[in-house]
A and B are shown apart, each in its own frame.
Chain A
Amino acid sequence: MTDSRTRATTWHDIVLATLKENDVRLVVYVPDRVFTPLIKALHADLFFTTFAATREEEALGIVSGAWMGGMRGAVLMQTSGFGTIPNALASLVVPCQIPALIFVSERGTLGEFNLGQALVCKTMRPVLNSLAVENITITRQDELAFSIDRSIKQAVATQAPVTFILSPLLTGGKVFEA
C-alpha cells in the first residue's frame, strides 16, 4: 500500500489515488449524484483528463480509442446508464479485447425509490456475466483499493474490460425520504 492510498480516507479519495497509481489518465463520465465528489476531485487534479460524454456508449468509444492510442481510460456512469452500453461492449470492447475500466454507481437496490433504476439494476450483472465481463461489486472501503488496483492490472494483462459496481454500502448511495 503506497502513501497516497494509506492517507486516503474516503471511497472517492481511494478510487482517485488508485487510478493515478495505475496511470489511468483519462476519465469520461455521464454524471451521477453519488459520484459527484469523485468527479469534482478528478476535474481538480490535472493529472487526469476528465470530461462528460453525452451518452455512456460514447464514453466507452472514447476510452477505447484512447487505449488504442496508448492511454488508459475509465468510464463512470450510474446504473440506468448501463442500459445503453451492451452493444458497445459486445461489438467493440469485448471482441477487440480492450481493457476499458467501467465504474457504475449502483442504483436500484438497498433503498431505491425509482423503479426504472431498480429494473436496469436487475439486468446489469446478467448482461456482464453473459459477456464474460469481469464484474466486481464493492461494498467495503477496506477492500476498495485492493480490488481496483488488482483488477486494473488484470484488465491490462488479460486485455479484457472490468466493471466495478460501487454499492450503496460503500458510497452511501442516493438517499430519499420514504
Chain B
Amino acid sequence: MTAKPAGALGAHNAKVMNRFELTKRLVAHLKRDEAVVGGIGNANFDLWASGQRAQNFYMLGSMGLAIPIALGVAIAQPQRHVIALEGDGSLLMQLGCLATVAERSPKNLTIVVWDNGIYQITGSQPTASSAAADLVAISRGAGIANSSWAADEADFERLAASALKGEGPSLIAARIDNKPAVATTDRDPVQIRERFMRGLGVKTRSNS
C-alpha cells in the first residue's frame, strides 16, 4: 500500500520512501551533537535503531509533544540545532504547536514529519493526511515558511543539510511506506532523560 491517489498527498509528486532509510541518512548529517527528539511510536523506534546517540531523546508517551519538547530544548540551548521527528498522526494531534514554533521562530529547530497516512502502531487506521490534509501546506499556513515535501532521498538530504545551517525553523515532510520500525526502544524514562541531559552537557542530580 504505497500509492495514495486521493487527497493532498496524491496531488504532489513526492516519492514514497522508507523511514529507517531516511532516519539513517538524516543522522549521518549530524556532525555537531545536534539534539534529536523522537516522537512516540515508529519515529522513535527507527531513531533508536539508527544508533543510540547521547543527544537523542526517546518519548515513551505524551503523543504529539515531540515538537514542543524540541522547541523547549531549542530555546534553552540556542547554539545547538534541535530536530523533532514526528509522525503524521502525532502531528495532527497537536497542530497548534506549528503556530507556536512559527511565532517563536527559533533558528535552530527543524521538524521532520514521516507521513504514511496511517496510525501505523495502533492497527494502521487512516489518518486525515491520507485523504485531504497536506501537512506541508498546514505548516506553511501556520507560519513556517520553510516547509517542504522531500521529493526523493537525495532531495531529503539536501533539505536536511540546508535546515541544519540554522537559518530559521523548517519542516521537512516525507511520504513513507508502511514498513514497521526495525527495533524498539528501551523503556526506562529516567535513564533516557538522564542520558539525554548528559548528552546535552546539562548537569543532573546524578552526574553533578
A: which residues have CB within 8 A of B? 26, 49, 51-55, 57-71, 73, 87-88, 90-92, 95-98, 157, 159
Contact = CB atoms under 8 A, between A and B. Distances in A.
B72 A63 contact: yes
B77 A69 contact: yes
A55 B96 contact: yes
B96 A61 contact: no
Contact of B69 (A61, A90, A159): A61
B62 A87 contact: yes
Interface of B: 35, 37, 57, 59-65, 67-77, 80, 94, 96-97, 99-100, 103-104, 189-190, 192-193, 196-197, 200-205
B192 A64 contact: no
A88 B62 contact: yes
Nearest to B188: A95
B100 A51 contact: yes
Nearest to B75: A66
A69 B77 CA distance: 6
A65 B59 contact: no
B70 A65 contact: yes
Contact of A54 (B73, B96, B205): B96
Contacts, number: 127
A58 B190 contact: no
Nearest to B68: A61
A96 B96 contact: no
B75 A49 contact: yes
A29 B103 CA distance: 14
A70 B193 CA distance: 12
B191 to A, nearest CB: 10
Contacts of B190: 95-97
B26 to A, nearest CB: 19
Contacts of A49: 75
A98 to B, nearest CB: 7
Given A58-B94, A58-B96, A92-B65, A66 B76 contact: yes
A176 to B, nearest CB: 29
A49 B37 CA distance: 22
A73 B73 CA distance: 11
Contacts of A64: 65, 68-69, 72
